[in-house]
Amino acid sequence: MRLLTHGAKRDSRENRWASGLCKRLRQQVTESVHRRLGPEAAWVQKHVATCPRCQRRLAAVARVDLALSAIKSQPHRLDLLMRANTAAVRMLNHQLRETPQAHRLEEARPEPRFLEKCARHRGIITNVAACAAILLLTKAGIFSSLDTARTRGQAAMKQYYAN
């Protein structure tokens, strides 16, 4: 690697090489940290095997992961947010549970996007758009121009074969 003076730029080949090197180095550092400090590390496994508190916490994390994967894999009703908020408010102490913000949170429902609201009318909207496009093209003379081009092309082909 050569040193650059202030303001000088690397050529593109050096930039590609340097960015590839940086990417590999970052990946190796991440993998190393994960091996030494992650859940697969031997000292973590030994600790979890002997610590009931950590076992309970990891079991809770596993249940949350399982629940999240189940939610992601199944379509949910629009009242899912309201039910989740109600469960969360029930976990608060009594004083917080009775605040106006908590009541609004319990009643909250997601607002469907405009396209989701129109989804049941998709076929009708598509048909109307297609009709409007055909009308505009007809008014613009596109179809008559295509018909004229076709007839002139046929005439040119007849003349060519006649000669």
Phi, psi of 3 (to 5 degrees): -85, 145
Structure tokens at 88: 């969360």
Higher pLDDT, 124 or 103: 124
Query: How far apart (Å, rounded) are the C-alpha atoms in residues 163 and 159?
Result: 6
**Quick one: average pLDDT of 40-67?**
84
Indicate the average pLDDT of the chain: 76
Q: What is the mean pLDDT of residues 22-42?
A: 81
Percent of the chain with pLDDT over 90: 0
Res. 66 pLDDT band, cuts 50 70 90: confident
Contact 92, 102 (CB under 8 A): yes
Helix, strand, coil tally for the chain in percent (to 5): 80, 0, 20
Q: Which of 81-85, 92-96, 155-159 has the highest mean pLDDT?
A: 155-159
| CA–CA dist 139, 123 (Å, integer) | 24
What is this structure's pTM? 0.29
Position 26 scores a pLDDT of 86
